[in-house]
Chains A and B, each alone.
Chain A
Amino acid sequence: MTVPISWYLVLASVLFAIGTVGALTRRNGITIFLSIELMLNAVNLMILAYARLLGDQAGQVIVFFVLAVAAAEAAIGLALFIAVYRLRRTIDVNRLNLLRW
């Protein structure tokens, strides 16, 4: 039996919500990135679900782009955090507030 589309959508939404909460509330930078990746993947899932539903192959291609962007962004972000860690010995975002007033 085919999995109803709504299951995919719900799953994607739940993952997105989890990712959002994580991105907003976690202190560890790596965890924030993890959450952002989760959000991206949730969106991917949703796109694929719709693509499958509507039979539009363009959706599949979009996912590739999103994955590439996610990878690039993760790479740069992690590089930034390495640099910050070398300087400040921490990646606790609460403590990285040099731009405070």
Chain B
Amino acid sequence: METFLSLFTHNTLTLMVFFPAIAALPLIFIPARQSQTGVKIYTLAATLVELAIGGSYLLSRLAPGASFPFVRELGLDGQPISWIPRWGIRYELAIDGISMPLVALTLVLMPLVILGSWKGIEKHWKAYGAAMLLLTTGMLGVFLAFDLFLFYVFWELVLVPMYLIIGIWGGERKIYAALKFFLYTMAGSLPMLVALLWLGWRQHEATGVWSFALADLAQLSLPLQPQLWLFAAFALAFAIKVPMFPLHTWLPDAHVEAPTGGSVILAGVLLKLGTYGFLRVAIPLFPGAALRLGMPLVVLALIGILYGALVAWVQSDMKKLVAYSSVAHLGFVMLGLLAFDLVAWQGALLQMVNHGLSTGALFLLVGMLYDRRHTKKFDEFGGLAKVMPVFAFFLVFSSLASVGLPMLNGFVGEFLILVGSFGSDVMDLRWATVAATFGVVLAAVYLLKMLYLTLWGPITRPENERLEDLSFREIVTLVPLCALMLWIGVAPALFIDPSTRHLDELLTSVRARMHVEGPGVAAAPPHDPTTPTALGGAAHTSAARPSTGGAP
């Protein structure tokens, strides 16, 4: 018992992960008829305390210009904490420069989500608060788990509260959307479980020791054939979450039907679980397969960027437009990850945070409109800038960040991804990058369409003439996001530098283990029409490229 308690006092990471779940417990005991406001304030306070705990932890370890340290949680005896010793499953939480930005994003977004849901959620607040807090625990657990089994547990843990949030407080087709989300994601996770177990068995076979720790599994050096299947299994689960084309169709439904707070956290953090999974698990564990399957995945990412943008353009529902824009944005992130280039990875990690901020803000704004007019259809709006100028300002600001306007955060991520991908010396992505860059034009097309139909022009409907502008609470919700969007855009080095060293180490390790000869996999590397040469995916790309310079 005392070891269990000391787990919290001793190890801040555990405290950070489980505090929200613990804070959710008293909510069970509050009688249902208690004032909703009390519950709202309690939940907000819980998220703020969590932000304080996590924030102080992170800030205490951040030194300007230096890398964020790698901190591993150990038990009282200085050893990693064993959970199920029979199979070497450890309770291993750790944080490094790669997890840190995503943890920070989660901590910052949660209070804003609660604030944003203040008016939108009307009944059963204690259930809502509990669900949100439990969700926080799950998300943080995914980012901090360094044992694959633990990772899987947290991964699945995230599904249930989200399902409840969509299914109870959602829109018209909430059951359909919630079920679709749940089943789709779970269907992807099951192959991942099988692959995971196989890995554990393989680990035992190879070294005689049972272990699911990421560090140990990465040393396995599997031949190409099993690597491909394993990578595919993991990639399936992650690709559904990202979401990558063509596994993305759960997202528009989930977003449209979810309440505002649900959408914000779904787009803000949950989607990043997928990209983080690629970065932390799939690519480092199976670098050979990642290289071999890189080109097809790049093609899918590209399709995501362009297709997502095109489809966003023709939507008549504001939330669906933003949902498809998420597909497009995360296509960029995936492109960056698959470039296996440090600059691209910096951009990808940063863009994960950026997307959370800008798309989170956009969903909050759509939610504010919905609170007033109970509709999300474009033809119900028009000319709102005249009656809601503050709202218009924030909407324009967030849209510009989303579109990747320089000086705002979206541009930094996109730029670094594209520059890095273009210059990648692992795969020839020049054409892919140019095609992806066209995505910035399409982004302007659909976002400006949204602004045009919502804000500009004369007011076409009488119901819109007397709308109230943003309240103090709503402004307070948006200001931190916009301030961060500007800050990251103007001084990105501050936000990128802490992660660079660990990204570099991870990338070096991946690149060292990338070239795996595969028995029986004699087929030509996946031939992709977007590359001009057969360089794509070939195992032996060397420096036979004409560039004399290249990134230093």
In the complex they form, whether A and B have CB atoms below 8 Å apart is answered with no
